[in-house]
Amino acid sequence: VQLQASGGGLVQPGGSLRLSCAASGFNFDDYAIGWFRQAPGKEREGVSCISSSGDFTHYEDSVKGRFTISRDNAENMVYLQMNSLKPEDTAVYYCAARSSPLYVGTWAVKTQYNYWGQGTQVTVSS
């Protein structure tokens, strides 16, 4: 099982980045995928998630309207388009996969995710 996050980098405030998560080694179509982030000295928090079919998405309040999650089941890929980036978005971003159903109240519960990838650093700074 592998989840490979990429696309991070240094960007100025107001800029954009698109993160990618490449999955392999499991039945991707059966798994919801989440993006989490962890800033220095802080807990890892949920940013967004998308259901296995792509029909349902959830976002953390601070990124609503700025970030968009999508997936391509034919390519086993999930994307996180991040616009209007702010310094407080600076963190290491991780993608994770879960086989359990997504619910509004539990989509960001880390223990409900079965597989995790390594992170990609996003730095928003002028």
Q: What is the pLDDT along the chain (126 residues), one digit of tens a residue?
A: 999 999 999 999 999 999 999 999 999 999 999 999 999 999 999 999 999 999 999 999 999 999 999 999 999 999 999 999 999 999 999 999 999 887 778 899 999 999 999 999 999 999
Q: Round to whole Å and give the CA distance between 24 and 4.
A: 9
The strand pair at 45-50 and 32-38 is best described as antiparallel
48's tokens: 């967004």
